[in-house]
Amino acid sequence: MPDRSEEQFEESKMSFAEHLEELRSALIKSILALLLGTLLGLMVGWSVVDYIQTPLRDALETFYRRQAQQTQLHRLQEMRDANESVPEDLAGAAQEIADQGLTPKEIYVDRGELLRAIGKSKSEPVDPTAAPDRQDLVRLRVYEPLAEDPRLNLIGLSAHEPFMVYVKASLVVGAMIASPFIFYFIWEFVAAGLYRNEKKSVYVYLPLSLGLFFAGAALAFFVVFDYVLDFLFWFNEQMGIMPTPRISEWMSFVLLLPLGFGISFQLPLVMLFLERIGIFSVQTYLQKWRIAVLVIAVLSMFLTPADPGSMILMGVPLVGLYFGGILLCRTMPGHPPKHRGETSEASSGS
């Protein structure tokens, strides 16, 4: 009676020319899907570029609100030192300015020009080319709505930079739209050389891999960015440096951090693969969990800007995924032999 595995092998066997033809067909269909996805991405590229700036603009607004509060508090303290009338709660008064979304600024105007502008003086105008006397200058405080502050806008250092950011964002959107079709076409090519039971495994692992990747990317964009930006702007504040973000650099950061989170979230599948090929066992994973936690902490430090918030937000889910990977190795069917030698002995005995 013929071996069932030999029958499956004959069913999946293809010639080299047939493999090349399948590969060419998969590549052509994948490229066409990417082109169509990019065309759709070009239609929404403007909105995407504006949307990805949202976390940065929110962080900049928080930064400048804090700056406005500190500036107002410093001014009130000066007025109190000069025995001027000020509220008893200086911090509360300064916070009120920040809550109203106002940024205080100080300007110096010529006293004579100011009086003439408000109609209080009829004297002859002074020579506009003459340097004003410092003693005649009056310090005035003006307030600007934070929503109209140009510092909240990202900058471009070249004429073509905004266009390249738009193209890059459109390509990313196009790749995301086309990714299910590209994965399907690649899967068609790979499935031609797999056994039926191996095909069933891929139907489980591929959606799981995509789900883990998008979960990691979503965690980075919707949660981690806030902690990273707060830390970076706090560091700018401590260094006395005013942030002026560049749109292209922010675009690269937006792509790299979610990508790092998405790849790192593949940990359970990597553990399952290593267990299936016999490199590690479930018992080894359980015994070495302390070393695994240390390795995860080190990786979290390198894959994030090394601020405590983002490191914790990456490290804690990865520790959970590590133990989830152990559970996956135990529950998924198809356990390998405990030792590789057992396979060879069994085959030689038969």
| Residue 106 φ/ψ, nearest 5 degrees | -115, 135
Contact 74/141 with Cβ under 8 angstroms? no
Residue whose entry in the numeric block shows the structure tokens 């079709």: 181
Domain ranges of the chain: 4-43+156-343, 55-152
243: its two tokens: 């942030």
Q: How far apart are CA 264 and CA 280, in angstroms?
A: 19
Q: Report CA torsion sign: 187, 32, 257, 67.
A: negative
Write the CB contacts of 18 (distance below 8 Å, at least 6 apart in sequence).
Answer: none
Would you write out the chain's pLDDT as a tens digit for each of its 350 residues? 455 554 544 555 566 677 788 888 889 998 999 999 999 999 988 898 888 888 888 888 888 888 888 888 888 888 888 888 888 888 888 888 778 888 888 888 877 676 766 766 555 555 555 666 677 787 788 888 888 888 888 888 888 888 988 998 898 888 888 888 887 888 777 776 666 766 777 777 778 888 898 899 899 888 888 888 888 888 888 888 888 888 888 888 888 888 889 889 999 988 988 888 788 888 999 999 999 999 999 988 888 876 788 888 899 999 999 999 999 888 875 555 444 444 444 444 44
Distances (CA, A) of 60 to 89, 147, 151, 245: 27, 11, 8, 9
Contact 143/102 with Cβ under 8 angstroms? yes
Q: How far apart are CA 174 and CA 218, in angstroms?
A: 18
Distances (CA, A) of 246 to 65, 146, 250: 20, 20, 6
Q: Note if the pTM is more than 0.75.
A: no
By CB atoms closer than 10 A (0-12, 13-18, 19+), residue 28 is: exposed
